[in-house]
A and B are shown apart, each in its own frame.
Chain A
Amino acid sequence: MTGSLDGVLAHGIGTRSDLPIPAFYAYAGAFAALVVSFLALGLLWADSRFSGDRAGRVVALRLPARPARVLTLLAVVYTAGLLLFGPDTDNPAPYLVYVLFWVGLVPASLLFGPVWRTLNPFRLLPDRPRRALPSRLGYWPAGAGLLAFTWMELVAPEPAAPLTLLIFFILYAATQLTGTLVYGHAWLERGDPFEAYSTLIGHLSPLGRRADGRRVLRNPFDGLDAIAPAPGLVATVCVLLGSTGYDGFSTAPAWVDALQSGPLGRTGLGTLGLLAAIAGVAALYAACLGVAGLIGGARGLAPRFAHSLIPIAIGYLIAHYFSLLVIEGQRAVILTLGLDAEVAQDVVGPGTIATVQVLAIVAGHVAGVVAAHDRSVRLLPPARAVAGQIPLFVLMVCYTLGGLTLLFAA
């Protein structure tokens, strides 16, 4: 029982979770989301404006990737050492993994683009593919990896125990090592869950990276538009949305009660709940895109609108992790550096947290609507573009109201 947290803590780690947002915030957010959706239908441009990968101004930026990756490798070795030999109490390793690394990747990628690509220590391995990466793999390996990580974070019996983290990261490292030795660095782009996660979020950064590797300053909507549809992209985005949604309701008293008194046991029911949340998000997406295709008279729309869910997923992630990052992030720094300081638990009040949560959800919704609108007017015939968007907006309103309901009621 070393260094483990017990109970059904949200987020894998931490000693507190957020209060429900006040009703006024929930209604204001829902109202804003609905108004923006309807205005977007009538008022936004009639011809596509985003030009994806071609957009932006090239900046002469050469990042010292090799030294950065060596430093990351040292940090990884240090964290592994803490997991193996660190103190039983106040071990900083779980905080480094769940707070600074996993949650920190979101703001870092939003600001600086695909940061894990720049820092990924597996890119120190030589890029000598023995075989070409089969294109049908797409994002499926990354989606499976993200599902495994979120399962460990939200469902595993002891998410913060060193043994749990060691098992996960040994499996992760073995997969990346094998993938890179067989397929070269092309594997890491789609097969490393953290690189795919950071790169997808980084598409919304003003500091973008084109497919040819050049760094550009660009409109985040152009960056979002540059996400190429690939097999498994929808599934990967659904894992992000569904797992964050599960995180939201996993602390609701009724669910806590079911987890600890149900016949399936905590892990069994938790696994079912996580998978059901992801399946629910995916089923809603498939249904709404199917209707959009019928109305718009186009086929195969589902992968081409997955990019518009990325801002919504980021809104969810910020809403659920903001207080964790600012409060438990302090503990990560204090424990790692051995500082003689206390965590300021009240650095952000409930009002600030609720405001950030609602703004993040609504901003994600607005960005998703704009991205979906631009894609619709490009893909659908002009006469059907407006009507074809209605199911997409219904989908986004469902996700947004769902997200607000989780913040309000759970």
Chain B
Amino acid sequence: MAALLVAGCGPMSRTHRDPGNSHEVVTSAPAPAPGEAHAEIRVQGGRVSPPSGWLEARRGQPVRITVTSDVADELHVHGYDVEAELPPGVPVTVRFPAELTGVFEVETHESKLVLTQLAVR
């Protein structure tokens, strides 16, 4: 299943295999950390709330994205290639340092929704 989902994203960067680009996934309630760029996003009935916008971060700043989806899905942060399974109704948090500059889509694979765009300056 996971292999199929990864294949679904097709040609993509390999940065997630690099050392120094590690990321962690937690399924418990996230502990707030100072200085993080963070977004909390819900997907319900194919709608994204808050509506897809921008998540601004400085280069090197830690990023935390919490997503709750009403259906099983997979989260993908493009460019950083951070991925996480989204079980229905369970908030999932991904954390990683913003090490690449540019604008990167944060999206779901199954419902193909752009949740937000991560803008790292």
Q: Quick check: A15 and B10 within 8 Å, CB to CB?
A: no
Query: In the complex, A166 Cα to B109 Cα: how many Å?
Result: 23
Q: Quick check: A15 and B103 within 8 Å, CB to CB?
A: no
- Decide yes or no whether B28 CB sits under 8 A from chain A: no
Q: Chain A residues near B81: list those with CB within 8 A.
A: 15
Query: Pick the contact of A6 from B102, B103, B112 — CB < 8 Å?
Result: B112
Interface string of A53-95 (1 = CB under 8 A from B): 0000000000000000000000000000000000011111011
Query: In the complex, A175 Cα to B15 Cα: how many Å?
Result: 40
- Decide yes or no whether B51 CB sits under 8 A from chain A: yes
Q: Quick check: A335 and B121 within 8 Å, CB to CB?
A: no
Query: In the complex, A251 Cα to B102 Cα: how many Å?
Result: 13
Q: Chain B residues near A94: list those with CB within 8 A.
A: 10-11
Given A15-B13, A89-B10: A345 and B79 interface contact (C-beta under 8 Å) = yes
Question: Nearest Cβ distance between residue A344 and chain B, in whole angstroms?
Answer: 11
Query: In the complex, A260 Cα to B52 Cα: how many Å?
Result: 9
Q: Which of B1-9, B32-40, B60-68 contacts A (4 or more CB under 8 A)?
A: B1-9
Given A3-B10, A6-B109, A95-B11: A19 and B119 interface contact (C-beta under 8 Å) = yes
Query: In the complex, A326 Cα to B75 Cα: how many Å?
Result: 27
Q: Quick check: A349 and B101 within 8 Å, CB to CB?
A: yes
Query: In the complex, A358 Cα to B22 Cα: how many Å?
Result: 35
Q: Quick check: B52 and A257 within 8 Å, CB to CB?
A: yes
Q: Chain B residues near A13: list those with CB within 8 A.
A: 11
Q: Quick check: A5 and B103 within 8 Å, CB to CB?
A: no
Q: Quick check: A251 and B117 within 8 Å, CB to CB?
A: yes
Query: In the complex, A331 Cα to B81 Cα: how many Å?
Result: 15
Q: Quick check: A88 and B101 within 8 Å, CB to CB?
A: no
Q: Quick check: B11 and A6 within 8 Å, CB to CB?
A: no
Interface string of A328-364 (1 = CB under 8 A from B): 0001000100000011011001100000000000000
Question: Nearest Cβ distance between residue B15 and chain A, in whole angstroms?
Answer: 7
Given A6-B112, A253-B117: A18 and B11 interface contact (C-beta under 8 Å) = no
Query: What is the number of residues of chain B that contact chain A, defined by CB distance less than 8 Å?
Result: 36
Given A5-B11, A6-B8, A15-B79: A253 and B113 interface contact (C-beta under 8 Å) = no
Q: Chain A residues near B107: list those with CB within 8 A.
A: 6-7
Question: Nearest Cβ distance between residue B101 and chain A, in whole angstroms?
Answer: 5
Question: Nearest Cβ distance between residue A146 and chain B, in whole angstroms?
Answer: 24
Q: Quick check: B12 and A15 within 8 Å, CB to CB?
A: yes
Q: Quick check: B10 and A350 within 8 Å, CB to CB?
A: no
Q: Chain B residues near A90: list those with CB within 8 A.
A: 11-12, 14
Query: Pick the contact of B8 from A1, A253, A257 — CB < 8 Å?
Result: A1
Q: Which of B10, B51, B54, B119 has the most CB of A within 10 A?
A: B10
Query: In the complex, A229 Cα to B114 Cα: how many Å?
Result: 43
Given A6-B107, A16-B104: A89 and B11 interface contact (C-beta under 8 Å) = yes
Q: Quick check: B112 and A7 within 8 Å, CB to CB?
A: yes
Query: Pick the contact of B78 from A1, A7, A253 — CB < 8 Å?
Result: A7
- Decide yes or no whether B85 CB sits under 8 A from chain A: no
Q: Chain B residues near A257: list those with CB within 8 A.
A: 48, 51-53
Q: Chain B residues near A8: list those with CB within 8 A.
A: 105, 114
Given A15-B79, A19-B102, A350-B121: A5 and B10 interface contact (C-beta under 8 Å) = yes
Query: Which of chain A's residues has its CB closest to B5's CB?
Result: A1
Query: In the complex, A349 Cα to B59 Cα: how many Å?
Result: 11
Query: In the complex, A8 Cα to B8 Cα: how many Å?
Result: 15
- Decide yes or no whether A261 CB sits under 8 A from chain B: yes
Q: Chain A residues near B101: list those with CB within 8 A.
A: 19, 346, 349-350
Question: Nearest Cβ distance between residue B96 and chain A, in whole angstroms?
Answer: 14
Question: Nearest Cβ distance between residue A272 and chain B, in whole angstroms?
Answer: 19
Query: Which of chain A's residues has its CB closest to B116's CB?
Result: A253
Segment 154-197 of A: residues with Cβ below 8 Å from B = 160-161
Query: In the complex, A24 Cα to B70 Cα: how many Å?
Result: 43
Q: Quick check: B102 and A17 within 8 Å, CB to CB?
A: yes
- Decide yes or no whether B23 CB sits under 8 A from chain A: no
Q: Quick check: A260 and B48 within 8 Å, CB to CB?
A: yes
Query: Pick the contact of B113 from A161, A260, A342 — CB < 8 Å?
Result: A260
Using a CB–CB distance below 8 Å, which chain A residues touch chain B? Answer: 1-9, 13, 15-19, 88-92, 94-95, 160-161, 251, 253, 256-257, 260-261, 323, 331, 335, 342-343, 345-346, 349-350
**Shortest beta-carbon contacts, A-B, top 10:** A16-B102, A15-B79, A3-B10, A1-B8, A7-B107, A88-B7, A15-B78, A16-B79, A17-B103, A257-B51
15 contacts between A and B (CB under 8 A): A1-B8, A7-B114, A13-B11, A17-B104, A18-B103, A89-B10, A251-B117, A253-B53, A253-B117, A261-B51, A343-B13, A345-B13, A349-B101, A350-B101, A350-B121
Using a CB–CB distance below 8 Å, which chain B residues touch chain A? Answer: 4, 6-15, 18, 47-48, 51-54, 78-79, 81, 100-105, 107, 109, 112-114, 117, 119-121
